[in-house]
Chain A
Amino acid sequence: MNTQEDSQTVRATSLSRQFGKRVAVSEVNLTLKRGEVLGFLGPNGAGKTTTMQMLTGNLAPTGGQVEICGIDMLERPTDAKARIGYLPETPPLYRDLTVNEFLQLAGRLHRVAKKSLAGAVDLAKQRCGIADVGQRLIGTLSKGYQQRVGIAQAIIHNPDVVILDEPTVGLDPNQIRDIRALIRELGGAHSVILSTHILPEVEQVCDRVQIMHRGSLVFNDTIAGLKQFRGGTLMLGLRKPPSIEALAAISGVASVEPGGGTGGAGMFRIQPHAEVDPTDALVRASADNGWNLFHLAPAASSIEDVFVQLTHREETL
C-alpha cells in the first residue's frame, strides 16, 4: 500500500442517490485524510444522512464510488465496513441488553479478537465516560448516556474512519464538552466525519468543513478558509451611536446594518471593504466623536453567516 492510499481514508467520487425521481444526493465528492476531522453541515433534508448512509454501506449509491482505505465499498463491503465506526442519527441500541453486553456484541460483530475484547470494551467505556453504568440496561439510561453508548459502539473496534451523525444531540453542556474533546482525540489517529447542526461545534473540533445543500456540496474548505469566506464582518457596539450614514462614511466600511447577532441597543454589523481594514478608523472616529465604544470584535457567528449565505440564498433565488 503506498502512502497516498494510506493517508486517504475515505474517498467518495461523484456519489449520487435518487429515491424514485427525487434526487437526494448528486455528484458529491469527498476525501478525508488520516487524522482529519471533517464537519458536515447542511440544512434539514440536504442529504447529509443519505451521504453518510452511502459512505457506511447502509445505502447503495445510484452512481459513484466509495473507497474506505482503498477498499471499494461495493466490491468488498464487509472488509470496508470493518474499518468504519458509525453512529446513525438514532443510536442503534438494544434496550434490553446491558451496556457491557451490548459493547461486547458490537466488538464481536466488528471482528475484535476474543482475547482483546474485554480490553476494548473497557477502553471504549472509559473514553466515552460510561465506565460506571456498565451493568445497567441500556433502556434505563438517560438520553445522554445512550448517546455515549452509541459513540462507544462506533469506536470499539478502533476503526480507521469514525462517522458520527449528530453525536451531541440530547447531551447536557458538560457532556457536549466531553464528547467534543473525545472527537478531537479521535481525530488524532482516526479520521472523523461529524454531521451537526451546532455551528460553533464545527469551529471547535473540525479541521475542514463541507456544507451540503439540496444534495450537492456547496462549500468545502478548511476552518481558516471558512473564516475568510466573508471577509470578516465586525460587530461594533456604541453607547451613544451616531446615524448609520455617519458610520457608513468611515473609510473602509462597505455597509452597516443595525442590530444583528445578540442585538441590543447600539450594536452594528459592519461589513468592511475587501482591502481596507476599518477597525482603526472606527476606534478613532468613536474617540473623536464621543460615541462611547464598548464592543468591537469580529462577528462570532462566521460559520453561521457562511451557512446562511450558502443555503438560504439559493432558496430565495
Chain B
Amino acid sequence: MIFTIAGKELRALFSSPLAWVVLAFLQLTMGWILVTRLDAFLTVQTQLMQMETPPGITEIVIAPIFGAAAVILIMAVPLLSMRLIAEERRNQTMTFLISAPLSMTQIVLGKFVGLYSFLMLSVALILMMAASMYLGGRLDLGLLGTLSLGLALLIAAFAAVGVFFSSLTAQPVVAATATLATLLGLWLLNMSQASPDSPFLMLALIRRYESFTKGLIDTSDIVFLVLFTSVFLILAIRRLDADRLGA
C-alpha cells in the first residue's frame, strides 16, 4: 500500500515540469562544480604528489560536490515536497486516500517514500558523475560510501520536514516557504558563533553531515538524523489524525 502511494507520488512528480527543472538545475550545478574542482585539482596535482599522504581525487573533487548538493537540496526539497499533502487538501482529493482502507501512517509514509525515491534519484545522478572519474583515476570507495550514506540520511531529514509542513496547510506555497525557512534556519545554526557544545549546534543538520564528508561514520550522527526524520514523520501522521478529529 505504501508503495502504491509512493508510485502515485512519483508519477505526479514526473508528470509536472517542476521535477524535471529541479533535476536539470541540480545536474547543471553539480556538473559546473565538478569541472571547476577538477580544474583546480589538475593545477595542484604536481604539488600534491610531493606530499606524503596526498588527498585523493575523491576528497578534492567529489566531496565538495556532495557538500554543494546538500545546500542546493535545501532549496529544492521544499519545491518538491510542498504539494504532497497540501495540494491534496486543496483539491479535496485527501478524502480519496482517507476513505480508502489505509492508515494515516501508510499515507504519510507512502508520500515520504515517493518523495525520497525521487531525491535518491538525484543522489544516483551525482554518483554517476563521480563514477565518471574512474575514466582517469581511482576513487576512494570508502569515502564515496560515507558521502552517499550521509547525503541519503540528510535528504531523509529534509524530506520529512517537507512532508510535515505540507501536512499543516492547504496552500502548497505556504508549505514550501515554511520548509525552506526551517531548513535554512537549521543550516544557519551551523554558522552561528555559539560555543561548540551549545545545544543549538546539536540541531544543525549540516554539521551532522560534515562528519560523513570527512569519511567518518559516527553512530550518534546516524541516530540523530534517523530520529529527526522519524519525529517529523510522526508529527505529520499526528497532524492528519487531528484533521479527522477536527479538534
Q: Which residues of A contact B (CB under 8 A)?
A: 19, 56-60, 77-79, 81-82, 84, 86, 88, 90, 92-97, 101, 105-106, 108-111, 153
Contacts and interface: CB of A to CB of B under 8 A. Distances in A.
B244 A60 contact: yes
Contacts of A105: 4, 8
A86 B103 contact: no
Contacts of A19: 246
B166 to A, nearest CB: 16
11 contacts: A56-B99, A57-B244, A58-B244, A88-B99, A92-B93, A92-B95, A92-B99, A93-B93, A94-B91, A101-B11, A109-B100
A101 B12 CA distance: 12
Given A92-B93, A96-B15, A109-B4, A60 B101 contact: no
Give 8 closest A-B pairs by Cβ, nearest first.
Answer: A92-B96, A82-B101, A109-B100, A92-B93, A78-B101, A81-B101, A86-B99, A90-B92
Given A60-B245, A82-B101, 7 more contacts: A57-B99, A57-B244, A78-B102, A92-B95, A94-B8, A105-B8, A153-B96
Nearest to B15: A96
A118 to B, nearest CB: 16
B92 to A, nearest CB: 4
Interface of B: 1, 4-5, 8, 11-12, 15-16, 91-103, 244-246
| Residues of A contacting B: mostly | loop
Contact of A60 (B11, B95, B246): B246
Contacts of A78: 101-103
A88 B12 CA distance: 22
Contacts of B1: 109
A7 to B, nearest CB: 23
A59 B242 CA distance: 10
B12 A94 contact: yes
A97 B246 CA distance: 30
Contact of A106 (B15, B94, B96): B96
A21 to B, nearest CB: 13
Contacts of B94: 92
Contacts of B244: 57-60
Identify the interface centre among B1, B97, B244: most chain A CB within 10 Å of its CB. Answer: B244
Contact of B100 (A90, A94, A95, A110): A110
A84 B93 contact: no
Nearest to B110: A109
A23 B97 CA distance: 27
A79 B100 CA distance: 10
